[in-house]
């Protein structure tokens, strides 16, 4: 004869359970908060980019002579303005080829400008390098009006918010000579990188995206580009859509890159007719790998390269984590990239730090027991500490990248004797195959189940408790000791405590203790005893953390 709780669990298991980890719902676009943050701190993200890569990321653009050599050569000393100079990958190849030119070089990243000034070939007699935000700073305060022969904008305008592109072009007009030329190369719509970004929650607005490192990229259509320049007093002299296949031999895939290359002339006579301005039609130039020289390259930022080639090695970092007297070197997603990451498992949460500290100081919680961690993420420090005294520890997460990093972290932080007791498995809550795979490791159920910061998405709560109900040890399997426990440590966010307790009760769980205690005058509890020995409550990362201790019949 089954009791009411057992019937409730069986009924819930008959219903199709959503298979999910803790990801946020989204319509594909970033929130207004992040949109404003990326705009406000654009300079900071590019400064971080150059801090990380210095002058080692982009190759020097030696193709400029082949593509646009006629604009730099000729009689007389020509004045060039390089907008968005970066580390000088355009400046120094041009200065070496054309000794008569003088180059103004600006960038809104102070670190990039410093890289130019400290370059071994920099000389003030030929190069004027300065910090400038084209959407805020007046170029004519640093460069004489109508004095520049040629402006180069190479993968620069795409980093500017579309609603400020007009400001940037009007700023350039002030210093460009009448009939002066603007040489342009930038990303085109339909580029593979845009398609990859479109599949993620990284869209700011139409054709405008944020990369994983916080830098931004706009993808230009032919119509948008020609209209933008025409409306700001430029005539199109050349407009070529370039297509190139990039091969990743290690992954045996070929990817299509698209960019636009154009030459615009500042119209001296504003009476030029629209008919004349529209007379040049964009050409499509299909560049196959065989016809492209090695010098012709597609400029890519750090975030863009990772999107195309599927690599995240450069976006990972190792942090030093101290838990009591133990030290862990944890490889995780860099904080620079966490704001656009869909997975919550690629970072270390404060709840995990607290629970790991509790386990380190109170090994009796897991000693000699079978332990399961749900949603452990890439760090897995709770599972690592538990493996020192538990009979079996199974660390689980639903994200493949998190599990890949977790395997690396376990290999580099856990002693071989403890690794024998620690198993890493994929587990999406509610996934029948994943649950069965865990049961095959341990058919008696787990005496301790731990979850840190796994409760803040409402849709995840029922699958979480349903999965725990199937995998927790029953009271019949543990007659001699205390009942099996499901321990949750978290900050309440989108799910409040009453909703959490209601869901827990539906799957037969009873809350037997909580911390902090609601009634400070009550007798000592199970959880409070974990902190009493050395007053460790004083070192809790944040006072917003809570611990809930459940048992099940």
pLDDT in tens, 307-322: 443 434 445 778 889 9
CA angle in degrees (0–180, nearest 5) for 230-233-238: 55
What is the Cα–Cα distance from 117 to 129, expressed in whole angstroms? Answer: 7
What is the Cα–Cα distance from 262 to 237, expressed in whole angstroms? Answer: 7
Question: What token pair was written down for 406?
Answer: 């977790």
pLDDT of residue 419: 87
Worst-scoring range by mean pLDDT, 33-37, 62-66, 474-478, 486-490?
A: 474-478
pLDDT tens column, 497-508: 999 999 999 999
411-418 — which CB contacts under 8 Å span 24+ positions?
412/329, 412/331, 413/328, 413/329, 413/330, 413/384, 414/384, 414/387, 418/384, 418/387, 418/388
**CA proximity to 227, closest of 162, 286, 298:** 162
312-318 — which CB contacts under 8 Å span 24+ positions?
312/401, 314/52, 315/212, 315/213, 316/405
- Ordered structural domains, the chain, with CATH: 8-23+315-552 (3.40.50.150), 32-239+260-282 (3.40.50.150)
Average pLDDT over residues 445-461: 92
Question: Residue 7: is its pLDDT beyond 60?
Answer: no
pLDDT of residue 174: 95
Average pLDDT over residues 39-61: 78
Element (H or E) spanning 332, and its range? strand 326-333
What is the Cα–Cα distance from 527 to 8, expressed in whole angstroms? Answer: 29
pLDDT tens column, 519-553: 665 566 899 889 865 544 545 656 688 999 999 97
What is the Cα–Cα distance from 471 to 446, expressed in whole angstroms? Answer: 6
CA angle in degrees (0–180, nearest 5) for 45-50-53: 125
**CA proximity to 535, closest of 357, 348, 350:** 357
More confident residue, 260 or 2: 260
Worst-scoring range by mean pLDDT, 36-50, 232-246, 429-443, 476-490?
A: 476-490
List the end-to-end C-alpha distance of the chain, in Å, as a whole number.
15
Percent of the chain at pLDDT above 90? 49
**356 confidence band (pLDDT: 50, 70, 90):** very high
**246 confidence band (pLDDT: 50, 70, 90):** low
**27 confidence band (pLDDT: 50, 70, 90):** low
**280 confidence band (pLDDT: 50, 70, 90):** very low
Question: Residue 330: is its pLDDT beyond 60?
Answer: yes
Question: Residue 481: is its pLDDT beyond 90?
Answer: no
What is the Cα–Cα distance from 258 to 286, expressed in whole angstroms? Answer: 9
pLDDT of residue 294: 39
More confident residue, 385 or 252: 385
What is the Cα–Cα distance from 506 to 394, expressed in whole angstroms? Answer: 25
Percent of the chain at pLDDT above 70? 76
Question: Residue 8: is its pLDDT beyond 70?
Answer: no
Average pLDDT over residues 225-250: 85
Element (H or E) spanning 333, and its range? strand 326-333
Beta strands in 370-516 (DSSP E): 370-374, 392-397, 422-426, 448-452, 485-491, 509-515
Question: What token pair was written down for 333?
Answer: 């997603």
pLDDT tens column, 140-175: 999 999 999 999 999 999 999 999 999 999 999 999
Worst-scoring range by mean pLDDT, 147-161, 255-269, 403-417?
A: 255-269
Coil, strand or helix at 152: strand
pLDDT of residue 291: 37
C-beta separation of 352 from 321 below 8 A: no
Question: Residue 75: is its pLDDT beyond 80?
Answer: no
Beta strands in 215-306 (DSSP E): 216-218, 234-248, 253-266, 283-287
C-beta separation of 447 from 485 below 8 A: yes
Q: What is the mean pLDDT of the chain?
A: 81
| Contacts for 84 with CB less than 8 Å, ≥ 6 apart | 106, 107, 108, 153, 154, 155, 156, 159
Relative to beta strand 545-552, strand 509-515 is antiparallel
């Amino acid at each position: 004869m089954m009791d009411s709780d057992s019937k409730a669990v069986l009924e819930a298991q008959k219903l199709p359970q959503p298979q999910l980890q803790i990801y946020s719902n989204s319509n594909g676009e970033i929130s207004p908060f992040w949109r404003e943050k990326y705009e406000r701190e654009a300079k900071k993200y590019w400064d971080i980019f150059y801090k990380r890569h210095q002058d080692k990321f982009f190759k020097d653009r030696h193709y400029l002579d082949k593509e646009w050599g006629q604009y730099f050569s000729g009689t007389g000393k020509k004045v060039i303005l390089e907008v968005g100079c970066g580390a000088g990958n355009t400046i120094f190849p041009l200065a070496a080829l054309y000794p008569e030119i003088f180059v103004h070089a600006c960038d809104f990243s102070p670190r990039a400008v410093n890289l130019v000034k400290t370059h071994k070939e920099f000389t003030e007699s030929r190069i004027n390098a300065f910090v400038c935000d084209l959407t805020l700073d007046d170029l004519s305060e640093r460069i004489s009006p109508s004095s520049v022969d040629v402006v180069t904008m190479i993968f620069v305008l795409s980093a500017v918010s579309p609603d400020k592109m007009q400001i940037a072009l009007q700023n350039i007009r002030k210093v460009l000579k009448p009939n002066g030329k603007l040489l342009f190369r930038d990303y085109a719509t339909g580029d593979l990188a845009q398609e990859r970004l479109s599949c993620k929650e990284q869209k700011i607005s139409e054709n405008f995206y944020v990369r994983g490192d916080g830098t931004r990229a706009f993808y230009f259509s032919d119509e948008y580009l020609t209209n933008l320049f025409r409306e700001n007093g430029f005539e199109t002299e050349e407009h070529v859509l370039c297509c190139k296949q990039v091969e990743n031999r290690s992954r045996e895939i070929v990817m299509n890159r698209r960019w636009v290359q154009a030459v615009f002339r500042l119209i001296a006579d504003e009476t030029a007719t629209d008919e004349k301005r529209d007379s040049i039609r964009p050409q499509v130039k299909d560049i196959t790998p065989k016809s492209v020289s090695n010098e012709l390259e597609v400029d890519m930022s750090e975030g863009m390269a990772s999107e195309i080639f599927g690599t995240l090695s450069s976006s990972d970092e190792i942090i030093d984590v101290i838990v009591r007297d133990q030290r862990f070197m944890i490889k995780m997603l860099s904080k620079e990239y966490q704001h656009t990451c869909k997975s919550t498992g690629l970072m270390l949460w404060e709840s995990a730090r607290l629970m790991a500290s509790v386990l380190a100081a109170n090994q009796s919680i897991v000693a000699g027991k079978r332990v399961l961690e749900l949603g452990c993420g890439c760090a897995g420090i709770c599972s690592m500490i538990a493996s020192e005294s538990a009979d079996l520890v199974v660390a689980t997460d639903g994200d493949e990248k998190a599990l890949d990093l977790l395997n690396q972290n376990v290999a580099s932080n856990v002693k071989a004797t403890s690794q024998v007791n620690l198993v890493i498995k994929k587990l999406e809550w509610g996934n029948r195959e994943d649950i069965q795979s865990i049961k095959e490791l341990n058919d008696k159920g787990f005496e301790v189940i731990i979850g840190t910061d796994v409760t803040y998405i409402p849709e995840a709560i029922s699958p979480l408790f349903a999965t725990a109900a199937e995998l927790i040890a029953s009271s019949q399997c543990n007659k001699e000791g205390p009942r099996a426990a499901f321990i949750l440590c978290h900050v309440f966010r989108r799910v409040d405590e009453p909703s959490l307790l209601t869901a827990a009760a539906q799957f037969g769980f009873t809350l037997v203790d909580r911390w902090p205690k609601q009634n400070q005058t009550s007798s000592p509890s199970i959880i409070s005893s974990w902190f009493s020995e050395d007053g460790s409550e004083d070192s809790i990362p944040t006072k917003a953390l809570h611990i809930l201790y459940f048992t099940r019949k």
